[in-house]
Structure 1
Amino acid sequence: MSIYISKQLREQIRASDRQRCCYCLTSEVNSGIPMTFDHILPVSKGGETNFENLCLACRSCNEFKSDTTEVQDPVTDEIVPLYNPRTQRWIEHFYWSEDATKIEEQTAIARVTIIALRMNNAVIRAARLRWAIALWHPPSDML
């Protein structure tokens, strides 16, 4: 199912999200892969197509997220919501490993989001290493 997103709203989201995935911070410029528009609360669960509920996501994060909004935390066994890039700040939940290839958690929200979206898979970690060597990564202006 394709949802219509106006050109004006697409441009607003691209500018706000700095042309990068709001989950793993992969840059469209660095990766060369166009970002997708993610419904934070999926349409299938009542989410609307507006700025507050849309963000840029790389294909990997978007596909693994699918219509998931919460996940059981393997540490506490509690049901925890995924990170919401419109209502939460990235740096309050996540941080970069010393070599900048791995996203680490500061909170349960980050932990379940990293797991559910597979934000540290081998392919993206190898790409992050190359970007870090080129001084393109990590982003200096965290969300």
Structure 2
Amino acid sequence: MSRPSRELERRVIALAAGRCEYCRLPEKVSALPFHVDHIITEKHRGATVLENLAWACFSCNMHKGPNIAGIDPITGEVVRLFRPRQDVWDEHFKWKGAWLHGQTDVGRTTVMVLEMNDPDVVLLRELLLTEGVL
């Protein structure tokens, strides 16, 4: 995998504003490191350029892996995943307490593939909500 330059990595981090660009977890509360993620993986000919890189928490990055699509849990259709550089987060996702819900086929599929409502993740969000961090 091509590693982005330090300058390119800094630009990705700045665009993320301190949060995972998929699940919106604040980096400052994470015990695990965040990573620069290729939105479209190099395996699928994604380039190491700003438009194709996102700042991702460990959980989102590991679950996403090389995936660029998944199966929409409602329609059963193959649907691409959320792309932080071209999609608007609020159009695809909505919070219901500590649970993240997909509002579109892209949102639903991304929530499922990235396992954004894993019980441990939801528990962490509940604690962060209680502490006023989220």
User: TM-score with structure 1 length normalisation?
Assistant: 0.89
- The CA distance in 2 between the partners of 1:66 and 1:82, in whole Å, is 12
Misfit runs of 4+, over 2 Å: none
1:116 corresponds to which of 86, 106, 113: 113
Q: Secondary structure at the match of 1:103?
A: strand
- The CA distance in 2 between the partners of 1:32 and 1:102, in whole Å, is 20
Unaligned 5+ residue runs, structure 1? Answer: 138-143
* Identity level (%): 34
Structure 1 partner of 2:35: 36
Q: Secondary structure at the match of 2:120?
A: helix
Structure 1 partner of 2:10: 11
Structure 2 partner of 1:70: 69
Structure 2 partner of 1:131: 128
Give how far 1:33 is off.
Answer: 2.6
- The CA distance in 2 between the partners of 1:72 and 1:128, in whole Å, is 25
- The CA distance in 2 between the partners of 1:38 and 1:4, in whole Å, is 10
Give how far 1:78 is off.
Answer: 1.6
**Count of aligned pairs between the two proteins:** 134
Structural RMSD (CA): 1.1
Unaligned 5+ residue runs, structure 2? Answer: none
Amino acid at match of 2:99: K
User: 1:83·1:113 contact (CA, 8 Å) conserved in 2?
Assistant: yes
- The CA distance in 1 between the partners of 2:126 and 2:75, in whole Å, is 32
